[in-house]
């Protein structure tokens, strides 16, 4: 087999997708008007497919902080953290994140993907064991592979499956890292962290939780699913990203273990990547401040999530197993999903199309991401778009939407 022959299957799948007459993975976002409105492929649409959970991408405080940093510090650091890329604001954000989570240490990465790569490839190595939920994000799988540790999967959100594997490890359990996510981004379901934390304590393993999609969404102060379930003390490492609720780009880990400071000299994805741009860091610091000062954002986010989930459930769509700001609409075939996605776009609603093998259980789905910035009228427009595709009823009027 020649070098490039391995891509034949992917090429054939792409050609079959294009034969449908649409290319849903190459749709241009021509203009972004606000946290919830944009122009896509010539249409004015409601954005129902972003991870902008708190709607802070257009927040005045975030904009002002980013503009000031851009003017004062330039467009980029042009260097890695161990060279010239650690500015005062980078270290300040690390300290603020650690304080927000009630931890001793914080470490920034250029992306959330690299946070998982950098932590997993450094924390575990040959002879160690990583136990991970089978539905974990690709960045977690890639970090596990880079580590050289023994990788053992357990069934998604199944503590009994996890315990069976812990029991088999015997003395190796002290060299074992359990890895789960707080909120899973495909189906919008949360990890049973109470039982997972209990097993971690009982067997003496370590626990890392990726709160990428749950930061700013769960818990009284928005720290994530571990906070909402009261098990933060059992989580050894919290990983997350700025590209969801904090409306930026970058990633982080916080922990009480001093090893986090040591990883500055051992984590290759940290050492050999340019540090985040000053404007991004300043915007994220401002967003973290808004999150701390504005608990009403979480209330609005959950009111919108419950409203859209309830409306789609009433219409008879097959949804993810629980209400969350990630609302998955499952369909049986790829063609059905493409038709639904295209129909929604024509109705002025942009959602995410997700096809196998990226989806659980081989099903296709459309993923809606709800924001605190969505108005009640916009939530109704989104649900009405789904309704029009199933009932053919006429749309209600949405101000400035078309």
Write out the catalytic residue numbers.
185, 213, 244
Q: Which two tokens stand for residue 378?
A: 């916009």
Please state the separation of Cα 351 from the chain's center in Å. Answer: 16
Sheet of 37-40: strand order equals 29-32, 37-40, 43-47, 349-350
Q: Which pairs count as long-range contacts for 6-15, CB under 8 Å and 24+ apart, including other chains?
A: none
With residues binned 3-state (H G I as helix, E B as strand, rest as coil), the percentages for the chain, rounded to 5, are 45, 20, 35
- The stretches of 42-177 forming alpha helices (DSSP H) are 60-73, 88-101, 112-123, 138-147, 159-169
Question: Distance between CA atoms of 154 and 162, rounded to whole angstroms?
Answer: 5
Residue given tokens 């022959």 in the structure block: 5
Question: Distance between CA atoms of 356 and 365, rounded to whole angstroms?
Answer: 9
């Amino acid at each position: 087999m020649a070098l490039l022959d391995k891509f034949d299957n992917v090429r054939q799948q792409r050609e079959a997708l294009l034969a449908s007459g649409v290319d849903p993975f190459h749709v241009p976002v021509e203009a972004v008007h606000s946290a919830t409105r944009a122009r896509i492929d010539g249409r004015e649409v409601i954005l129902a497919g972003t991870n902008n959970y708190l709607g802070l991408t257009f927040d005045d405080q975030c904009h002002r902080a980013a503009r000031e940093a851009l003017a004062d510090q330039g467009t980029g650091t042009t260097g890695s953290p161990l060279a010239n890329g650690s500015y005062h604001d980078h270290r300040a954000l690390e300290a603020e994140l650690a304080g927000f989570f009630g931890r001793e240490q914080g470490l920034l990465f250029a992306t959330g993907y690299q946070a998982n790569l950098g932590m997993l490839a450094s924390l575990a190595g040959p002879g160690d064991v990583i136990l991970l939920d089978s539905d974990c994000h690709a960045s977690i799988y890639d970090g596990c592979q880079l580590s050289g540790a023994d990788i053992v999967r357990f069934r998604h959100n199944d503590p009994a499956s996890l315990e069976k594997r812990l029991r088999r490890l015997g003395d190796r359990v002290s060299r074992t890292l359990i890895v789960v996510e707080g909120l899973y981004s495909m189906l919008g379901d949360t990890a049973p962290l109470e039982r997972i934390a209990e097993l971690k304590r009982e067997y003496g393993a370590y626990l890392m939780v990726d709160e990428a999609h749950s930061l700013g969404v769960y818990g009284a102060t928005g720290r994530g699913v571990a906070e909402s379930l009261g098990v933060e003390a059992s989580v050894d490492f919290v990983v997350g990203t700025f590209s969801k609720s904090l409306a930026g780009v970058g990633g982080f880990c916080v922990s009480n273990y001093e090893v986090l400071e040591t990883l500055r000299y051992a984590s290759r994805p940290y050492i050999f990547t340019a540090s985040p741009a000053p404007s991004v860091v300043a915007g994220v610091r401002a967003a973290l401040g808004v999150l701390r000062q504005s608990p009403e954002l979480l209330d609005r986010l959950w009111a919108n999530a419950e409203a859209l989930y309830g409306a789609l459930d009433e219409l008879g769509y097959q949804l993810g197993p629980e209400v969350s700001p990630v609302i998955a609409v499952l369909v049986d075939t790829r063609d059905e999903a493409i038709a639904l996605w295209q129909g929604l776009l024509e109705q002025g609603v942009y959602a995410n199309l997700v096809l196998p093998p990226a989806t659980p259980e081989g099903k296709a789905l459309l993923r809606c991401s709800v924001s605190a910035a969505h108005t009640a009228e916009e939530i109704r427009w989104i649900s009405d778009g789904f309704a029009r595709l199933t009932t053919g009823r006429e749309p209600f009027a949405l101000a400035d939407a078309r």
